Chains A and B, each alone.
Chain A
Amino acid sequence: MRIRLLRAACMAALLCVLFLNAWAAPPEAKGEPILIGTIQPMSGPYAAFGVKFYQAYNMAADEINAAGGIKGRPIQIVFEDSQDKMDLAQTATRKLVENPKIVALMGGRLSGAGLAIAQVAEREHIPYLVDHPSADVITKSGFHWTCRLNPASSFNSVPLQRFLKDYAKDIKTVAVLYENSVYGKGVTEPFKTWLGQNGYQIVVSELYPPLSLDYRDLLNKVKAQNPDLLFLAGNIPDSALIIRQSHELGLTPKMISGAGAGFSINEFIEQAGDAANTVFSTGPWSGNPKDPKVQAFAEKFYKRFGHYPKEHEAEGYAAVYVMADALRRAKSLSRSDIHDALVATDMQTTFGPVKFETFDGYTNQNNGLKNGQVVLSQWQNRRLYNVWPPDVSEAKPIYPGIYK
């Protein structure tokens, strides 16, 4: 008897929960959602980056859905975890591609993962919108199905180059330390070529394996050469560790500059602390800080997630709008029609203008260089401000940097 009563109570509770759930369904979601697949590092050492895209994508998708969705249907972003490893990225991409409801792909995070996704997209004929992986090779391989919104890696060091030419003219010797990856090489090798052509002396040039724990030996080598500029390309946690250990060894070049990635996110300043003060970072911007729409986006993002958007969030947020725009213009929701619409994109976003062009060996690459979407920024009092070029700067550069 008692057991029966208990069972009845349980059933009643269960029914209540089910009904409540039905009532709580979101009002604006009408019809079957349009699914867009994305491959991000949701676990592993780079999970912090995956979270940024998760926030940015969902914020944009929620806004689009609240405004009526695409052709009356909501969009939904489907996440697959890659841990930013090339092999896992391929597997994750296949899994998404095999689902016929997934109409397009976006995301990827490290360049290696992005390249792996682009290769699968090319074989499987599915449109792929790149919003962060930056290595030149991704849009320089003649891929038909891949478009890239963010600046290519060769562009990333250009603001730093201009800063060296126009402002920090006393820099003569340079040390470069970069991670041994598609990203590290993609950013650093064009910069090294430029340094060579412009008469700078590269006194140390070293590749290191990502996620090494001890950089003291490497930095000791740099200290022996006492360079004017220390250029770094790496991810968190390496970036913070290198800065901490260089502080510890008493390395005082005139300028330390990272190249986006691990140097332009809040985790960097949290982990490196005051040792990171006045460290520069050259790479994609996070939208024009003087544009009221960008400011509104930043404030709204801050209100929802408690931190200000940087390059990753700005790119991810804009990418969803670019994708939505293509879906809206596509003749049908077939993968090839969406691809045709995506390639023809020409619009304004919070990341600035987006138009996929073919130039200088790039295919379907948004020309971030022409559009001024790369900037030199600097950590000042625990915040990252654009400092160069002057027309989009938010603060005056502190040069020489104070690394004591």
Chain B
Amino acid sequence: MKLIPWIQAVVNGLLVGSLYSVIAIGLTIIFGVMRVINMAHGELIMLGMYAAYWVFTLFKLGQVAALLVSLPLFLALGAGIYGGMVNRVERRAGEMGTLLVTAGLSYLVANAAQLVWKADYRSLPAALTTRSWFVGGVSFNYSLMWAFLAALMLTAATYVFLIYTDAGRAIRATAQDREAAALMGVQIHRTNMMAFALGTALAGAAGVLLTPVFYVYPYVGRVFLIKAFVVVVLGGMGSVLGASLGGLLFGVVESVASLFISSGYRDAVGLVIFLLVLLFKPSGLFGRSRF
């Protein structure tokens, strides 16, 4: 067996996995702080992908511009979803209510997207996305490399925010113990809103980074939501560190597995991991610690 295909599989896995990490961090922060499983997370990614697509198509601007434009929009969107919907439902109907309302939101957004943008598969021009850099027979796609670096920077920025800022400390405190945090003077409502906005912005940013390497269509969010669930469970629900490492690990496992099983079973591999982790190590591979 030659070595290069295996190295290539690991490289691809790491590059794509870094994006899974960003998606999963967003999902896991929202879960950790609020105990809300955000079923609309995939659709937020989809909106991010369309944002990048339109910023390029209409203004011929690249991903940096798309990120700068979409980050504040997604922060506001996240705060809006929390304030206008999740918070209200949570007070009246608890965790089950938020699960259902975000699931409803996901259908609404996906169908609205289909209404406005049609079911067409859209992609950025090939010239932008197929360039690669070769090292000893292993290809590094430019777009994926850039997405990888941006994903690492986003992850690092999220860490710095959570560990070193007051707002970040408030988020972590709320995740550890909501009542105790409230007693210490943390404003729970504001903290929740911040966490939801942060999670949404990460989903949107992941969408922007994914655009050059994938297709954009209204239901694309589903694909990534399932992967994000697997990663979140793999890393331990609510754990940001777990989600970052879990994303990379999952990307590599997926890509190596399809090299020696069959790529037709790639999604099955992910779901089998999901079941095994839940059965034998429900707190995730990286233990209980949050953040």
- Chain A neighbourhood of B5, CB < 8 A: 220-221, 223-224
Considering residues A45, A47, A224, A248, which has the most beta carbons from chain B within 10 angstroms of its beta carbon?
A248
A206-B263, A217-B255 in contact; A47/B120 too (CB < 8 A)? Answer: yes
Q: List 5 A-B contacts (CB under 8 A).
A: A44-B119, A47-B118, A213-B215, A217-B254, A275-B126
**B264 within 8 A of partner (CB):** yes
Closest to B8 in A: A220
Residues of B contacting A274 in the complex (Cβ-Cβ under 8 angstroms): 126-127
CA A275 to CA B4, docked complex, whole Å: 23
State which size class the interface on B falls in. Answer: 35 or more
Q: Does A218 contact B (CB under 8 A)?
A: yes
Complex CA distance for A286 and B260, rounded to whole angstroms: 40
* Residues of A close to B213: CB separation below 8 A: 214
A interface residues, how many (CB within 8 angstroms)? 36
- Beyond A206-B263, A247-B130, A250-B134, whether A221 also contacts B119 by CB under 8 A is no
CB pair B9–A45 under 8 Å, yes or no, is no
* Cβ–Cβ < 8 Å partners of B127 in chain A: 273-274
Q: Which of A47, A216, A240 contacts B12 (CB 8 A)?
A: A216
Take A223-B5, A250-B132, A274-B127 as given contacts and tell me if A43 and B119 are in contact as well, using a CB distance cutoff of 8 Å: yes
Q: A45-B217, A47-B120 are in contact. Are A217 and B266 (CB under 8 A)?
A: yes
Q: Does B283 contact A (CB under 8 A)?
A: no
Contacts A213-B215, A224-B4; A249 near B123 (Cβ below 8 A): no
Q: CA A273 – CA B128 in complex, angstroms? A: 10
Q: Which of A226-247 contact B (CB under 8 A)?
A: 236-237, 240-241, 244-245, 247
Closest chain B CB from A275 CB (angstroms):
5
The answer to whether B259 has its CB under 8 Å from any CB of chain A is yes
**Any chain B CB within 8 A of the CB of A297?**
no
Which chain A residue lies CB-closest to B256?
Answer: A217
Residue interface mask B1-40, A partner, CB < 8 A = 1: 0101100110010001000000000000000000000000
Decide: B121 and A45 in contact? CB cutoff 8 A: yes
Q: Which A residues lie within 8 Å of B255 (CB)?
A: 216-217, 220
- Interface residues in A350-396 by Cβ distance below 8 A to B read none
**Taking CB as reference atom, which chain A residue is nearest B114?**
A43
Distance in angstroms between the alpha carbons of A232 and B125 in the assembled complex: 22
- Residues on the A chain within 8 Å of B223, using CB: 213
Chain A residues near B118 (CB, 8 Å)? 43, 47
Residues of B near A48 (CB, < 8 A) are: 120
A216 to B215 alpha-carbon distance, docked (Å):
14
Instruction: State the CA gap A45–B123 with chains docked (Å).
Output: 13
Contact with B along A18-57 (1 / 0, CB 8 A): 0000000000000000000000000111011000000000
**B residues within 8 A CB of A271?**
123, 126
Which partner residue on chain B sits nearest A224 by CB separation?
A: B5
A273 touches B119 (CB 8 A): no
**Contact of B176 with A by CB under 8 A:** no
Cβ-based interface call for B129 (8 A): yes
- Are B215 and A237 closer than 8 Å at their CB atoms? yes
User: Do A47 and B258 contact each other (CB < 8 Å), given the known contacts A208-B263, A213-B223, A273-B126?
Assistant: no
Q: Is B132 a contact of A248 with CB atoms below 8 Å?
A: yes
Q: Which residues of chain A come closer than 8 Å to B119, judged between CB atoms? A: 43-45, 47
A70 at interface, CB cutoff 8 A: no
Query: How far, in Å, is A120 (CB) from chain B's closest CB?
Result: 25
Task: Map CB proximity to B onto A47-86 as digits: 1 under 8 Å, 0 otherwise.
Answer: 1100000000000000000000000000000000000000
Within 8 A of B (CB), among A177-213: 180, 206-209, 212-213
Task: Give Cα distance in the complex from A42 to B217, angstroms.
Answer: 16
In the bound complex, residues from chain B placing their C-beta under 8 Å from that of A223 are: 5, 8
Whether B125 contacts A273 by the Cβ 8 Å rule is yes
Minimum Cβ distance to chain B for residue A167 (Å): 28
Chain B residues with CB under 8 Å of A272's CB are 126
How far is B129's CA from A214's CA once the two chains are assembled, in angstroms? 14
Given A244-B129, A274-B126, A221 and B264 touching (CB < 8 A)? Answer: no
